Structure 1
C-alpha cells in the first residue's frame, strides 16, 4: 500500500507541476509559441502577461465617445516606425491610417501628453489627463519629418522620437534617416528626441552557430576571434560605452541631456537596466503592451503602426485598455526572477517525473510478481 500511495502522491504532484508550467508558459512566454494563441485565443488573452499577440482578439468598433472616460492615472504609450503614403513594409503605417488614428483619438476624448509630462507622472506621480496617450516613433526615419510631422502639427499632437545616434542622416536602405537639420526643425516644432542607442540596433551572434542571434544591447555577444562569449563585465562595459556615446551626441546636437531610451526590439536585461540608471537614463521603453503607472520606469508600449493596423480597432482597444492592457506592475517580476522560477519549476517537474516513472515501474513489477505467484 505504501508503494501505491507514494505513486498516487507523485502522480498528483506531476499533474500540478505540469499545469503550473503550462500556465507560466502562457503567462510569460506565449510570444515564443504563436500556435498557442491560434489554438486557445481566449485562454492566452486571459493569462498572458505580455498581451502583444492577443490584444485585438474579439474586438469590434463602437460609436464615438466624445466624453468617454476609459482610464485614469495611467498612460498608454503608442509606438510607430515608418509612416508613408504607400507603405511597402509590414511595419509601415499609411499616412491615411495614421491621420485617422489621430482623428479618432480626438473624437473619443483621448489626450496627448509630452515625454516631460510622462516623466513627471512616472517619477513624481504628477497628474496626467484622463485617457492620457504618449506618441512615440522609433529609429528616426525621414518619413517622420516628411509625413508624420505635418500631421502631428495639423492636429496639435506632441510626440517623441528615439534616434539611433550613429545613423542620423544615413541615406542607405529602404528607410533613409532624418538629418540633424530636419530633427532640429522638428524639435523647434515640439517633437522631443531621445536615445535608441548609438550603434546597437542590430542582432549579434550568441554562440558559434551562425543562426543563433540575439539583440546586441540586451545580451552578451559571442566573440568570434576570441572563440568565446563576452564576460558579464565586458558586456556591461560595451553597452555603457554605447549608451554614454549616444547621450553625448544628443546633448551636443540638441542641447538637452538625454533621460529616455527605447530598447531596440524591446529587448533588455537586468544588468542593462542598472547601466541605464548609472547613466542618468531615467525612463526606458519595451515593446510589450500594457498601461503605464507611476513608478514604472521600464514602460510598456502598444504597437500602433504597421500595414495591418485598423484605426477603428486601435481606438476600441484603447477604450478597453483597463481590461485589455492592464498588467500588474511589480519590480519582483524581473526577467531574472521569472527565469529562476521557471527553471526551478522545470527541474522540479523533471525530478518528480523521474520518481514517478521509477515508482510506477516498481508498482508494475509488484503486480506482475503477484500474478505470477
Structure 2
C-alpha cells in the first residue's frame, strides 16, 4: 500500500504546473547566467597623463596611473572591453563578478606617450573619446593633442577603442561657465541665437562629421559617444540617437546595473586627486551597493511551466501599493543557448501595463510543443515611466 501511495504521489508531482521564482528557476543555467554574473559595473574615467599645469585638475601622473591599474588587477577586478560592456548593459552578456571598464576623455597626446604603453603592458583596454577639431588643431588649452597616426596605431593594437567627443562642441559660453555647455546652449560660439530644433540639427551635423573623420583616418567605425562636460537635454539626446551612436556616456558618478541599457553610462573620475586607496574603497563600495540593489530589485516574475506551455506574469513590487503607476510596459524575448551563448530567436511582443489597481501585471503565454530540444531563456524587460529598465532571465529546457 505504501508503495502505491509513493507512485501516486510522484505522478501527481509530474502533473503539477511548476511555479517558478527567482531562486528556483532551472538552477544550473540560472546560476551561470545570473548569479555568477556581475551585479553592476563601475566605469573609471581619465583625461590627461603627466603633469600639465594648464589642466592640473584632470592630470594623473604616470606613477599613480600605473599604481591604480595594479590595484585593480591585484584586487581581482577584470578590465573588460566595450563590446562586453554593451552586451552586459543590454542584458544578455556575462562578465566576471568583479569587473571595471576604463575610458579616457579628450584625446591628449599623453594618452599615446604614457597611458597606452602601460595599458598594453598590463593587457588592459580602454575607450578613448576624442575632440576631433582640437586634434586637428594640435592642442587644447595649450596642451598637445594626439595626431591621426598615433590614434590609428593605438586603434590597430586593440588596446584603445576610439569614440567621439564631438567635432567642435566641447566648449562653454559665458566665459566658460557651467550650465552654458554647447550641447545645451541655444547660441553659437559667436553668440548667435539658436532654436532648439536648429541646435539639434547642428549637433547632429557636428557629431556625424566627427565619426566620419575618425573612420576615414583610422579605418574603424565608432559607435561610442561621450557628452562634453556630461551635458545633454532632450534635443541633444535626439541628435546623438539620430547620428547612430550605440552607446553614450555621461559624467554622472555611480555604477551601472545589468540590463540597464546603453544610454547615459555613469562614470567615476580619477586623477591626481584620487589616491590608490580612495579608488579601491570607491570600487568596493559601489560593488556592494550594486549587489544590494540587484538583490532588492523591483521586478518580479512568476512563470508556470508544463511540457507544452509557458505562461509568464511580470510586475513591479513598487506598483503593488503605490497609487502612481511605475511600470510602463513589459517586453518578452526568447533566446536559445547555442555553444554556451544565448541567441535571440524572436520577440513575443510588447505589453502595456493596465493602470487600474487590480491589474498592474503584464502577461504572456507561449506554446512550446514545437520547440526543438535544447536550453532556452526568456528575457523579461519592464520599462518604467521614467525610461529606466529592469531585466529578469528565466531559463528552461525542452
TM-score, length basis structure 1: 0.64
Q: Is the 8 A contact 1:70 1:320 kept in 2?
A: no
Instruction: Call closer, same or farther: CA 1:222–1:321 in 2, change over 3 Å.
Output: same
Q: Is the 8 A contact 1:70 1:319 kept in 2?
A: no
1:239 matched to 2:203? The reply is yes
1:303 to 257, 269, 284: 269
Q: Is the 8 A contact 1:266 1:286 kept in 2?
A: yes
Cα distance in structure 1, aligned partners of 2:133 and 2:275 = 33
Q: Secondary structure at the match of 1:296?
A: coil
Instruction: Call closer, same or farther: CA 1:118–1:210 in 2, change over 3 Å.
Output: closer
Cα distance in structure 1, aligned partners of 2:37 and 2:280 = 13
1:184 matched to 2:144? The reply is no
Gaps of 5+ in 1: 1-68, 335-373
Deviations 1:254-305 (CA, angstroms, capped at 9, x unpaired): 2222211111111111221122112111211111111112233220001012
2:142 to 174, 182, 189: 174
1:126 to 85, 93, 116: 93
1:74 matched to 2:40? The reply is yes
Give 1:123 shift: 2.7
Cα distance in structure 2, aligned partners of 1:316 and 1:243 = 36
2:231 to 263, 267, 291: 267
Instruction: Call closer, same or farther: CA 1:314–1:213 in 2, change over 3 Å.
Output: closer
1:92 to 38, 41, 59: 59
Instruction: Call closer, same or farther: CA 1:224–1:174 in 2, change over 3 Å.
Output: closer
Cα distance in structure 1, aligned partners of 2:189 and 2:143 = 30
Deviations 1:52-108 (CA, angstroms, capped at 9, x unpaired): xxxxxxxxxxxxxxxxx9992322111000111x45312101111111111111110
Instruction: Call closer, same or farther: CA 1:70–1:318 in 2, change over 3 Å.
Output: farther
Instruction: Call closer, same or farther: CA 1:90–1:70 in 2, change over 3 Å.
Output: farther
Who is 1:249 aligned against? 213
Who is 2:284 aligned against? 319
Cα distance in structure 2, aligned partners of 1:115 and 1:333 = 26
Cα distance in structure 1, aligned partners of 2:214 and 2:199 = 23
Cα distance in structure 2, aligned partners of 1:224 and 1:157 = 42
Gaps of 5+ in 2: 1-34, 299-382, 388-398
Cα distance in structure 1, aligned partners of 2:216 and 2:197 = 28
Q: Is the 8 A contact 1:261 1:284 kept in 2?
A: yes
1:200 to 169, 175, 182: 169
2:116 to 126, 144, 149: 149
Cα distance in structure 2, aligned partners of 1:314 and 1:212 = 26
Q: Is the 8 A contact 2:200 2:238 kept in 1?
A: no
Greater fraction strand? 2
- Higher relative contact order (CA closer than 8 Å, sequence separation 6+): 1
Q: Secondary structure at the match of 1:214?
A: coil
Superposed CA RMSD = 2.9
